[in-house]
Structure 1
């Protein structure tokens, strides 16, 4: 939405005593028509004509002593709806955009200097404008390339986010499986520990039983050895008794 323009300053009235500025009245050899449009008597830019506009008066009444430090408030008649497709608004803008001091400075130049300034300024302005347009075209192309690159990056970012989400799901599943495996391994380790304890107990019991069996076997062996010794002793005694008996019977027979 267009912002309202700053209202122009108060209109400049025709001065009464402005030094070199004169009016069309009096004995001046420049009439009002000659002062404003260059009549037969010549052209004096400081003479205010009867048909001069407020803008003409604004520039013709300028002196550095009186208005040198005042802000430049061009007496435009431009309206906010004006555009530069029409000649009149464009001319109005050109006529009143420059400060009075700049207008007087340019007016003081000789025609040849103005011509040279115009040629140099126009050539440099056109060259600069052409370079600006070239850089602008390059910028537009680079902008298009950047937009395409941005679209590719956004697509890659979307794919990355999708892959990241899938990776997160896979990782969560892996962590769950890992925890379940750890729990299963802990259960198996606990079972193995219980089996090892049971085996150790059974092994100790087996050793105790074996020791008891060894003690019993040793005691039985000792008893067997003792009995064998007694049997041998009794056998020898029986044989001796039988020998004595046989000898006794033999003696009785003879």
Structure 2
């Protein structure tokens, strides 16, 4: 159990989109935050600067989620900077859309490497290092319930994420660490808007009973709940999608 006053969170994919908003939200809740990024150092710096300007504590660390040595170094950096790790949010991911029959297998392999191997590697480090009372939070997708054509490869990778999440929650017995996943529906991020025309976006926005797209803030609120002191939700996939299937 962490007996220090400051809790520490690592957010992979924390430099943009849902990951960045989650980093800012957890920092506002008093977490010291480690913003992990893959390539864009400038975006990561912006995220850290925004957190520190608001009075929070944050550092950025570049590392490939699918590289076990790099992930080990990321956790080392968090422990060196802030004394330990209490929450790990694995928000890094790739999405490429295509009917199964047309999907380039090299594209599928890249998605699989980030979304499945990356989740496995991040969770492996988290399972070894997260302190008692902590949380591991993965990202799935509500597409698994919606069964949308064109999402076959992406949904397949996220089905693996859900399996890892549910089983790891049971493997962590006795550690006082919860393991859950958040499965957003259509959310207004650059990743979602890429390749979609206005008509397609409007159609997605009209589908939920709440009749809008989700926002990164909506998803960050769910992550903050799972990362917080209410520790009884465990081994679950929370479908944060405004009422879709």
* TM superposition score category, shorter chain reference: under 0.3
User: More helix by proportion, 1 or 2?
Assistant: 1
Work out which of the two has the higher radius of gyration on C-alpha atoms and give 1 or 2: 1
User: More strand by proportion, 1 or 2?
Assistant: 2
TM-score, reference length from structure 2: 0.18
